[in-house]
Chains A and B, each alone.
Chain A
Amino acid sequence: MEANELIVCRDVSLGYEGQALLTHLDLTIHAGDYLCVVGENGSGKSTLMRALLGLLAPLSGEIARAGELKAGAIGYLPQQTRAQKDFPATVSEVVLSGCLNRKGLHFFYSSVEKSEALMNMGKLGILELKDRCYRELSGGQQQRVLLARALCAARKLLILDEPITGLDPAAAQDLYKTLTYLNEREGMAIVMVTHDLKAALQGARTVLHIGRNSVFHGTAQEYLHSPEGRRFGKEAQG
């Protein structure tokens, strides 16, 4: 692997119980990338995401990860679960739990971790919410809390799974702005699965479209002029 490569997939096939959903995929994620993954439901977007996170082994091919990602230093923003809606926890408890993947057997948070959590809350503008209860926040605020937690876990790569589900348009815009900020100013590589094509393309530099029969991978501009992009764009708007 070269120095600026974070994840390299070579001729990867993915699927469950021997049934391949995605075949012969080549994909390299570099430091500082902003990749948007789109495609119809059931095309294998979430499967790809699980494989990138290391939760699913490829059926064939190879997924190589940079050294620091192997220990789990990937910031992940999963879809929210039902149980979280009434979970009693303060914002700082949730954000701090992102620090648990640090190396070594330790049982309590160090002061370095605590100040890092505070810093990440500051970055996302939720510092004044730190003692508030997570379940009483708005959807957009909850998403920021989970993003701050993801930042505690990772410095190089964030993976987001349908991050704007359940957000109103203003909160979604906000989230995209934050992601652009993290990508441009902090050099954080971002991989995002989304349905929201139009808004996502404002920030993303490259697009991976997973179709039933074809896979498109290129820049956002190229994508808008490709057959997949035009068709999917129309569907998404119509």
Chain B
Amino acid sequence: MSLVQIFSYPFMQRALIAGVLVSLCCALLGVSLVLKRYSMIGDGLSHVSFGALAVAVALGFTPLYFSIPVVILAAFFLLRMASHPRWNNDAAIAVMSASALAIGILVISLTTGMTTDVDNYMFGSVLAMTASDVILSVFLSVAVLILFVLFYHKLFAVTFDESFSRATGLRVELYNTLLSVLTALTIVLGMRMMGAMLISSLIIFPALTAMRLFRSFRGVVVCAGLSAVGCFIVGLMISFVFSTPVGASVVVVDLAVFLVSCLISALRHR
């Protein structure tokens, strides 16, 4: 089957557009998150996003309009805890993930019952994106990308050295908040196609791959973006051809690319 045929289906076109943009956002933000040791925040937020989605469907709200504010709130909360000396940060994230997941599952089983919906939320579905979802995704991802490019240098400074940035008058809290709001948005957008369980790997894998291969921050950011988009497209096609879930297919491609990058880096250092 040719590429033209695969992408002649409207649902595949929607998945391609939304997926490419979301992967790109995930990868760019992921570089900062991974370097700041915030990888698990992405994971926590995706579970909150699952819970919010379940509640939204049960109450009859438009899923995205409900989950976006909830997840942004959760992001604020997680960030506060990350910088709070008395909180055990990773335990707090684990508690939040599990609670949101449990609430989501309870709500679903009490309302619609454990149907394919749950399966779709957990592991994603290529059919999940409606035309209006795609429009919202495009709009928000472009906003995320523009903000990332504009604040690129400041995000670098805050990622590399928070104390120096703070001492020299950079508004560190503002940029940390920006980072978490952008992450929250991206996760909500990507979750329904990739699945709550797998969306965080879209944040982590490209950054790890790029860090094995490149030595400059700019190189890492560009490489992470490219590898995320490439892996998404290949994963989407695999998912179509073999009828596998799209989220899992993309993650497996990401894993393969990551392993190759480890190999290259090991050979280089021999």
Contact = CB atoms under 8 A, between A and B. Distances in A.
A47 interface: no
B154 A100 contact: yes
Contact of A53 (B36, B154, B167, B217): B167
Interface in A108-147: 108-109, 131-133, 135-136, 146
A54 B215 CA distance: 34
Interface in A60-100: 71-76, 78, 81, 83-84, 86-90, 93-94, 96-98, 100
Contacts of B218: 93
Given A88-B220, A97-B157, A109-B153, A76 B164 contact: yes
A136 B215 contact: yes
Given A97-B153, A97-B156, A107-B150, A89 B216 contact: yes
A84 B35 CA distance: 9
B168 A153 contact: yes
A83 B37 contact: yes
A1 interface: no
A72 B156 contact: no
Given A83-B37, A94-B160, A133 B154 contact: no
Q: Per DSSP, are chain B's interface residues mostly helix, strand or loop, or mixed?
A: helix
A108 B150 CA distance: 8
B165 interface: yes
Contacts of A170: none
Contacts of A54: 167
Contacts of B219: 88
B50 to A, nearest CB: 29
Contacts of A150: 164
Q: Per DSSP, are chain A's interface residues mostly helix, strand or loop, or mixed?
A: mixed
Contact of B166 (A55, A75, A84, A135): A55
A209 interface: no
Contacts of B216: 88-90, 93, 131, 133
A100 B167 contact: no
A70 to B, nearest CB: 8
B211 interface: yes
A202 interface: no
Nearest to A135: B215
Interface in B148-202: 150-154, 156-157, 160-161, 163-170
Interface of B: 35-37, 150-154, 156-157, 160-161, 163-170, 210-211, 214-220
Q: Which 6 A-B pairs have the closest CB atoms?
A: A72-B169, A133-B215, A76-B167, A97-B157, A101-B168, A78-B163
Given A88-B219, A97-B153, A133-B215, 13 more contacts: A53-B167, A72-B168, A76-B163, A76-B167, A86-B211, A87-B217, A93-B218, A100-B154, A100-B165, A101-B170, A107-B151, A153-B164, A154-B168
